Structure 1
Amino acid sequence: MPETAASAPNAEPFRASIMQIEPQWIDYNGHLNMAYYNVMFDRAIDQMWLQLGMGPAYMKERGGSSFTAECHVRYLREIHLGDPVQIFVWLLEADDKRIHTFEEMRHATEGWLSATSENMSLHMDMKARRVAPFPPDIQQRIAAVTEAHSAVPRPEGIGRSVAMPSRR
């Protein structure tokens, strides 16, 4: 997959490749262990980073990368061994150093929602190991995708926080 955006982004969430659950990821409860939801979400984000021009070649040639600063995962329905999974990514907002994304993990053939992940990623200068502005070409791609995704209805769950239900 190339590390550059060849055409204008679509007004739909990014669709990652269909993934399969690996047997060693199943825990003693018989479902996908919570840690591996993050592995799958991370793999999907890596695919989107490639489309934005921010994959391994970007790190090697230009010294930039991204780090996750914050992540909020909601587990909504169990995924089991043999379930094909597809992750959809919305690029919600960005500034010169940060990207706010929202991801949905869905059963790839039946379409039901298994989990969501909301993330704040930071652009890093890997030589200094500090947060740094995106280069102009990358910032331009991010802005184009953010604009395209703003035309798509927002999924339920953005901005949720962890709290006990209030008693009334």
Structure 2
Amino acid sequence: MADDRPASVFFFAPFVSSTMAIEPGWIDYNGHLNMAYYHVLFDRAVDEAFGVVGLGPDYMETGRGTTFAAEVHVRYRRELVLDDRVRVTLQLVAFDEKRLHFYSEIRHATEGWVAATSENLSLHVDPATRRVAPFPEDIQANLAVMLSSHARLPRPDDLGRVIGIPARGHARPDAMAFAAAGARVRH
């Protein structure tokens, strides 16, 4: 007798994307990756991770639903240049019936240092109505497995950061802060 239940989903903790290359058109006049393309790298990794959960392109094409970004907070930690190869990690932090909260890091593929972090809130949307709607039960079950796997990971330091200028006497010019954070500048 065939088992009609879907196969159980297994998740690495954190999810790790395929290796990605920096494209020549993404390099700006400063000789490093333009900030917009950090988002492209994050987005490609999200597509990979969400595909494992069942939220890939076929999910949208079948009309079951899709996800929309509601809020994103990116922190640029270290420059990327044309020859760099990267991988993106993704950690599911929380979810409810209509939302996903997750954290990602772009890491140099061979050296492992963090180039950028991204904290995200995504909404599940019914593509017919373009309104927020609950995830189907099978997707919620997959998310529960993913969250259980990722719950063992430490809470990222960048999670929940607030943008602002520190109180007087604690502020440092942006270039000094970037350098103090371990930025590598290549000329």
TM-score normalised by the chain length of structure 1: 0.94
Q: Deviations over 1:78-127 (max 9, x none)?
A: 00001000100000000000000100011000011110000000000000
Give 1:156 shift: 1.7
Partner of residue 72, structure 2: 71
Which is higher, the Rg of structure 1 or of structure 2? 2
Secondary structure, aligned partner of 2:94: strand
SS at the partner of 1:85? strand
Contact 1:63/1:127 (CA < 8 Å) preserved in 2? Answer: no
For residues 138 and 87 of structure 2, the distance between their equivalents in structure 1, rounded to whole angstroms, comes to 29
Separation of aligned partners in 2, 1:5 and 1:50: 15
2:163 is equivalent to residue 165 of structure 1: no
Change (3 A) 1:5 1:108: farther
Q: 1:154, CA displacement in angstroms?
A: 2.0
User: 1:125 — aligned with what?
Assistant: 126
Task: Report what 2:179 is aligned to.
Answer: none
Aligned residues: 164
Percentage identity across paired residues of the two chains: 52
Asked if the contact 2:63–2:127 (Cα under 8 Å) also holds between the matched residues in 1, the reply is no
Give the superposed CA RMSD.
1.3
Letter aligned with residue 21 of structure 2: Q
Whether the 8 Å CA contact 1:5–1:141 is kept in 2: the answer is no
> For residues 11-160 of structure 1, what are the structure 2 equivalents within 5 Å?
12-160=13-161
Give the letter aligned to residue 108 of structure 1: A
Task: State which of 5, 8, 11 in structure 2 corresponds to 1:9.
Answer: 11
Deviation string 1:58-88 (CA, Å, 9 cap, x unpaired) is 1111330000000000001000001000100
- CA offsets 1:110-163 (integer angstroms, 9 cap, x no match): 011110000000000000000000000001101110111001112220000100
Structure 2 runs not aligned, ≥5 long:
1-5, 170-187
**How high is the TM-score relative to the length of structure 2?**
0.84
SS at structure 1 position matched to 2:103: strand
Distance 2:11 2:99 in 1: 19
Amino acid at match of 2:43: D
In the alignment, the residues of structure 2 paired with residue 32 and residue 5 of structure 1 have an alpha-carbon distance, to the nearest angstrom, of: 40
Instruction: Assess if the C-alpha contact under 8 Å between 1:93 and 1:100 holds in 2.
Output: yes
SS of corresponding position for 2:38: helix
Query: Cα gap change, 1:133/1:70 in structure 2, threshold over 3 Å: closer, same or farther?
Result: same
Runs of 4+ in structure 1 off by over 6 angstroms are: none
* Amino acid corresponding to residue 148 of structure 1 in structure 2: S
The separation in 1 between residues aligned to 2:83 and 2:7, in whole angstroms, is 33
